[in-house]
Amino acid sequence: MKVISYNLRKHRAAVELSKLVDEHAVDVLCLQECDTRDIPQEIAGLRLAEATQRNRLGLAVYYRDNTFRAVEVRAIALKKSLHDYVLKPAEERMLGVRLRDIDDGREVIVASFHAAPLTALNSLRRHQIRTALSELQSLGPGLPALMVGDYNYPVFKEHLGQKVRDQGYELTLSDARTYTRYRFFRGHYDFATSVGFDIAHIRTLPQGLSDHLPILVTAEVSTSPPPTGA
């Protein structure tokens, strides 16, 4: 399964999506900062599963409808930062979709995630990540789950990785940094947390109109038992 995650920077990079999907034969597309009033029902053969409704710039998930069926979707509002209370940029910061493979009937969960901005504390973002991962398991207990997106977590990722492993998930970074706008804040912002998947690799794709670079996740459902605590 190939999944692209892309923060569109206030929808500016939306014009690039069809080319990205075609060029990389994508199965699932997870978006952040997309204009939910101005997104199509289909992008290069991918069907819109759902988009968040409570904020204009939000999340969306697309899937290849000749491969999967969307069984259930769930948007979750997470603990707010001061930035959220004052500017109200986002209400729902996780959008999960339960997908059923048409051929073999196997189900997986894929989610788009957008953590609070850098003005918030890492502790708040860890709380958001922990809550989002718990909600994914309630969407499909025991199912393989992959959450990709903008984690806004450029430093102390080792600590975050341990917290994620404590929940039974794995944190995987891409092969190159994903954010380049500000000199002192460049680094890995966009990555994946997963359970029940073997991540072959995560590749940072060339930069387009966004200050974030899209990432391409290549993964398959694991044949080994999930770790304790998943």
What pLDDT, on the 0 to 100 scale, is given for residue 183?
59
> How many domains are contained in the chain?
1
What's 117's DSSP letter?
-
Among 203, 197, 191, 193, smallest CA distance to 219 is for: 197
Position 230 in a domain: no
Report the interhelical angle of 122-139 vs 157-166 (nearest 10°): 30
- Residue 85, H or E segment: helix 82-87
What pLDDT, on the 0 to 100 scale, is given for residue 223?
85
Q: DSSP E strands: which ranges in the chain? A: 2-7, 28-35, 42-43, 46-51, 57-64, 68-77, 92-101, 107-114, 145-150, 170-172, 190-195, 197-204, 215-221
Full-model pTM: 0.92
What pLDDT, on the 0 to 100 scale, is given for residue 227?
52
Q: What is the 3-state secondary structure (H, E, C) of 18-38?
A: HHHHHHHCCCEEEEEEEECCC
Position 228 in a domain: no
Give the range of the structural domain holding residue 174, as residue numbers without chain letter. Answer: 2-221
pLDDT by residue for the chain (230 residues), tens only, comes to 999 999 999 999 999 999 999 999 999 999 999 999 999 999 999 999 999 988 778 999 999 999 999 999 999 988 665 455 444 555 699 999 999 999 999 999 999 999 988 777 889 999 999 999 999 999 999 999 999 999 999 878 899 999 999 999 999 999 999 998 765 567 899 999 999 999 999 999 999 999 999 999 999 999 876 554 44
Q: CA–CA distance from 211 to each of 39, 87, 101 (Å)?
A: 20, 20, 34
CATH number at residue 211: 3.60.10.10
Position 102 in a domain: yes
Position 143 in a domain: yes
Position 84 in a domain: yes
Position 37 in a domain: yes
Position 226 in a domain: no
Position 175 in a domain: yes
HSE, side-chain direction, 13 A CA sphere, residue 141: 1
